[in-house]
Structure 1
Amino acid sequence: MKTTLRPQLGQTLNLTPQLLQSIRLLQLTAQQLELELLQALEQNPMLERDEGEDVGETDTDAHDATAADSALDAGAWDELPEPAFLSGSGSGTPDGELDATARIAAGESTDPRMRLLERLALHWAPADLRLAAWWLDRCSDLGLLEEPRQALLAEGAQALGVDAGELEVIRQRLLHGEWPGMCAETAAECLLAQLARRPDTPPVLLARRIVAEALDALASGNVTALAARLGEDPARVAAAIAEIRALRPTPVDDAATPAAEHIIPDLVATFVGSEWRVALNDRALPRVRIAAHCERALASAPGDTSALRGLLDEARWLLRGIGMRNDTLLRTGHVLVRRQRGFLERGAEALAPLTLNEVAEEIGMHESTVSRVTSGKYIQTPRGVLELKQFFAVRLEGAEVSGNAVRAMVKRLIESEPPDAPLADETIAVLLARNGVRVARRTVAKYRDQLAIGPARSRMRAPSGGAPAEASR
């Protein structure tokens, strides 16, 4: 084996502490940033509150002026690296990645199916991952299949151009994978997948038999009758039932209702004249600056002042990071409001398809940067306080509208249907097609399920009034 030396030129991006701090500030919500600034004021004597002006909404022009003032206060920001890491160009990492910060987690999706796909992407082949995504798209929010397995196998084999057996293998891998029971056809199959991971102890073996043969009897809660049906001792049956009760009824737990908390909007959108304006909301954040008297005293101080100069550098890094965060947030807000003007003026049915990548290209930054700056951020609009993530919508396949817009259309049609003649899913699909939105009946059923609205037969009620008998999820 011969060892050789070969010169190679390349550009790399080192994630310095300053850059890491800027990335962290980018992800902070308004409440978190407020705590960060209050803590910095307590710990760093080089910082002081800026009480010179009334705080409020900072629009684009005022924001530019504030950024210029902050640059004068910070003084030596030019000694820090430029924020090229926020851009999608110029990093040139050896592995071909446009943005080194894309390797830093940007937070998990609120959709459990997306979180599972992100985990599977670490060790599944791309071809298998494509089939897994197809199966997960046919699952409800709780992880169970929305249609019979055989019908989905036939549909998937035709749509994906693969053998039905190969498609079933992927489903079995999901069923017995990281989230046992995922893509199960029935609750019994979900429970059996979870029991399959348990040791083969007598209670577990009997629990498998109960789920497979007598799940209907188990629901009655009569242990004696269940034991007689299975020909087992009631004590053993009780132990097996305890194993079953320790399982989850669905692969994905119901999303916990978040505790009520006070939301501070990061941006404010107002309609002035004939255009929309976006401004930063500075009302809840303390304004900080570098204490000029401390900086002057430090410049002429005798002796070793390295510790104080370190605090001064930290203050400058903090102000620069906040400035870049606010600038990125404001630019992103401008794009979102401009692209989703119809949504703000007419409602959810006018929500246009919009992706993180489209916004990133428009503001000249990386997609991961847009993801971080919009996570947990809110904007105050005439329609209320909205999360920035609500402005993004996936384009419905074969249509020029977003899935969220179609879901809003489905909700409007159901709300306006005759009480004694509720619309079936097929009818709703036909009505949407007349408006140029062609979706399958299965898609209508999926959106109806997401809205917690029962099928047509459960919505039937007398025309004189009465509450609809909606099926609870």
Structure 2
Amino acid sequence: MKPKLTQEQKLTWKLTQQLGQAIEILQYNGFQLQQFLEEQMKENPLIEIETESFTSDYTRPKQGMGFDESFWIDEEQDLADYMKEQLIDKDLSPSFREIVEFGIDSLDENGYLTVALTDWQLAFHTGEEMIEEALELIQSLEPAGIGARTLQECLALQLRRKPVPNHLAIDIVTNHLEWVADYRIEEMVLEYGVSEKEIKEAIQDIQALYPKPGILVAGRTSSTIIPDGEVYQSEGTWKVALTKWNRPSVTIYDYSLNQNDLSQEEKEFFQKYTQQGKWLQKALIQRSDSLERVFAAIVKHQILFFDQGPERLKPLVLREIAEELNLHVSTVSRAVKEKYLQTPHGVFPVKFFFQSGLKSNTGEISAYAIKILIKEMIDYEDKQKPLSDQKISELLKHEFHIEISRRTVAKYRLELKLPSSNRRKRRMHNE
């Protein structure tokens, strides 16, 4: 029984490992995939992989379509998007998800919460417990320390995430952080009744933390945008083609053929690397098929975008595509992560096509399209009497049959990095 059990355990571990690698390959963009394949060729002497070199002849979204550069999702990774992606696999009610996302949108670039809990509570007419639960969820996300209200809380959150939390360090950052800055070792020894060595170890743990965890995300950039697929029109139909570097060709050379005099060790060598090569072939085909299916489904749902432009972008969520393709939501999430599509309107991140939205009298409209309207209203407002968020809400209702609250207008305006009406008026007078 024992040999059989051991074999089954090895097989289970191998299958689990291969599944994990297949999932990892799916989330690679074209550039990351090429790097991965180069490593595979170094490790496996029996395979050869043909990949295409990259070109950089790609454009950002074109001008003159009702939006400008501020609507482009920057190459620099957005902290709010990064955190909202972590909510995908969490089973949250729509109302609670909105509360959590409001909190995420209220983080500054350093990752600190900028809204008071009482204001957060009033914004949703909900209880204190609900807001505290939302904050606790945000503070459990990556990077550690996110969602803190003070530097002390930020550092304590990071320390509590350690495999073995240093409770002495947690107490020091919570109650005596200034002692760390001044390196007041003796006072800490007297205060806590521990050895100087323990205090110095606690200080080392504290000094290894990040006082601005949001920068860890917002500071990461991709040096080059490489489209993973192209959307084009053929005979009146929108179609998708993966770029060539997303369809690499793997050749396996079996040098063991007709060589009966191989040693057992040599046979095992050829068997191992041949199997690895076959698995890689299969995983790459599966990745390409998954990407193509997901991209094609997105194009089908966003046909008005391709026909008429970005202002006709429809609301779309990952779950819709997942259910349509009979895939798990996390699979779709990995398929679109850090991927880009070349379109007639320019190159867009694939996640751009997933937009929240709401219903209007003329049908569903995406948050992105509403932002375009809000920006245009502010661009063409009477500069002597800038539009308040409440007035914008009323104009959207009366002129476009779109009903959104003043609070939602304020949220979208902040996402567009547009100041309030008071600040716009003050800025004009200062000029």
Range class of TM-score, shorter chain: 0.5 to 0.7
Match of 1:303 among 261, 271, 282: 261
Alignment of 1:315 onto 2:277:
yes
**Match for residue 376 of structure 2?**
412
Q: Deviations over 1:103-125 (max 9, x none)?
A: xxxxx985365478689x79xxx
CA 415–257 in structure 1, closer or farther in 2 if over 3 Å, else same: farther
Structure 1 residues 284 and 333, CA, compared in 2 at 3 Å: closer, same or farther?
closer
Residues 459 and 130 of structure 1: is their aligned pair in 2 closer, same or farther, counting only changes over 3 Å? closer
CA RMSD of aligned residues (A): 4.4
Change (3 A) 1:109 1:360: farther
CA contact (8 A) 1:458 1:470 kept: no
| Residue deviations 1:420-466 (CA, integer Å, cap 9, x gap) | 443221121112113121101111111111111111233349xxxxx
1:15-53 deviation digits (Å, cap 9, x = unpaired): 4443333222212211121122223334433323559xx
Deviation at 1:272, TM superposition (A): 2.7
CA spacing shift, 1:308–1:395, aligned 2, 3 Å: same
C-alpha change, 1:375 and 1:134, in structure 2 (3 Å) is: same
Aligned-partner SS, 1:298: coil
Please report how far the alpha carbon of residue 270 of structure 1 lies from its aligned counterpart in structure 2 after TM superposition: 1.1
What is the 5 A alignment of 1:42-121?
Answer: 42-49=42-49, 110-111=80-81, 114=84
Aligned pair count?
A: 342
From 312, 320, 341, the equivalent of 1:350 is 312
Decide which moves more: 435-444 or 268-277: 268-277
Over residues 112-150 of structure 1, what are the superposed CA-to-partner deviations in whole Å (9 max), with x where a residue is unaligned?
65478689x79xxx89x976962651552325455x765
Q: Aligned letter for 2:23?
A: I
Q: Distance in 2 between matches of 1:382 and 1:289?
A: 35
Q: So what's the TM-score if we normalise by structure 1? A: 0.60
Which residue of 2 is the match for residue 437 of structure 1? 402
Residue pair 1:131, 1:170 contacting (<8 A) in 2 also: no
* CA distance in structure 2 between the aligned counterparts of 1:17 and 1:255, rounded to whole angstroms: 28
Cα shift readout 1:347-372 (whole Å, capped 9, x = no counterpart) = 33322111111111212221111111
Aligned residue type for 2:417: A
Q: What is aligned with 1:402?
A: 366
Contact kept? 2:146, 2:213, Cα under 8 Å: yes
Match of 1:270 among 232, 251, 275: 232
TM-score (norm 2): 0.65
Q: Quick one: which amino acid aligns to residue 262 of structure 1?
A: T
Matched with 1:210 is none
Following superposition, the deviation at residue 406 of structure 1 comes to 1.9
Structure 1 counterpart SS, 2:238: strand
- Aligned residue for 1:277, secondary structure, equals strand
Amino acid at match of 1:428: I
Q: Partner letter of residue 329 of structure 1?
A: L
Q: Map of 1:160-239 to 2, 5 A cutoff?
A: 160=126, 164=127, 166-167=129-130, 170=133, 182=147, 190=150, 198-201=173-176, 203=178
Alignment partners' CA distance in 1, 2:291 and 2:87: 28
Distance 1:202 1:385 in 2: 47
* Residue 261 in structure 1 maps to residue 223 in structure 2: yes
Identity of counterpart residues, as a percentage?
28
Superposed displacement of residue 326, structure 1: 0.3
Question: What SS does the aligned partner of 1:31 have?
Answer: helix
CA distance, structure 2, for counterparts of residue 172 and residue 341 of structure 1: 38
Q: Deviations over 1:166-218 (max 9, x none)?
A: 4576588689999779485xxxxx468569963544957xx9xxxxxxxxxxx
Give 1:280's match in structure 2, choosing from 232, 239, 242. 242
Q: Is the 8 A contact 1:425 1:445 kept in 2?
A: yes
Matched to 2:37, the amino acid is: L
Query: Which one has a bigger Cα radius of gyration?
Result: 1
Letter in 2 for 1:48: E
Contact 1:375 1:388 survives alignment (8 Å): yes
- Check if 1:140 corresponds to 2:112: no
Distance 1:456 1:262, change over 3 A: same
Q: Which residue, out of 293, 310, 313, partners 1:331?
A: 293
Following the alignment from structure 2 to structure 1, what is the Cα–Cα distance between the partners of residues 210 and 35? 40
Query: 1:23, 1:450 → 2: CA distance?
Result: 32
Matched, 1:37 2:45: no
Q: Distance in 1 between matches of 2:146 and 2:239?
A: 48
Distance 1:331-1:115 versus aligned 2 partners, 3 A rule? closer
Instruction: Provide the C-alpha distance between the structure 2 equivalents of 1:343 and 1:317, rounded to a whole number of angstroms.
Output: 38
Structure 2: give runs of 5+ residues left out of the alignment.
Answer: 1-11, 55-77, 157-170, 183-205
